[in-house]
Amino acid sequence: MTTEVTGMNHYGARARDHWRKHMPAHLAQIPDPEAFFTRLGEAAATEIDQIAEVLAQTKPPGEGYLEELGRLETARKTAEMQVTREMLLVDPEDQERIAQLLG
């Protein structure tokens, strides 16, 4: 017997909390907020993985374990910052971006 665990990830929850605080009128327009933020969180996680992979591709010659670990962590954090800014913590005054997200 398997149990399927569903629900939004921490990226979706972070976006939902931001919309609750800063854009309640837009949040009220979303018919199914749980599904919307679940999908947004999943899309953000995928985008972060893809960006981090691209950023981490350049491996300098002679790089040791700790340097590699630092490079990979920096790539991940950079990707998270970029996606957070672009997808999750949307500027409440950026009506064009909000419209894009709402579809």
Tens place of pLDDT for every residue, the chain, 103 residues? 444 446 899 999 999 999 999 999 999 999 999 999 999 999 999 999 999 999 999 888 999 999 999 999 999 999 999 999 999 999 999 999 999 988 8
Does residue 66 sit within a domain? Answer: yes
Does residue 1 sit within a domain? Answer: no
Task: Output the pTM of the full model.
Answer: 0.85
Domain encompassing residue 19: 10-102
Does residue 2 sit within a domain? Answer: no
Does residue 45 sit within a domain? Answer: yes
Instruction: Give pairs for 35-41: CB < 8 Å, separation 24+.
Output: 37/8, 37/12, 37/13, 38/6, 38/7, 38/8, 38/9, 38/12, 39/12, 40/11, 40/12, 40/15, 40/87, 40/88, 40/101, 41/8, 41/9, 41/10, 41/11, 41/12, 41/13, 41/14, 41/15
Total number of domains constituting the chain: 1
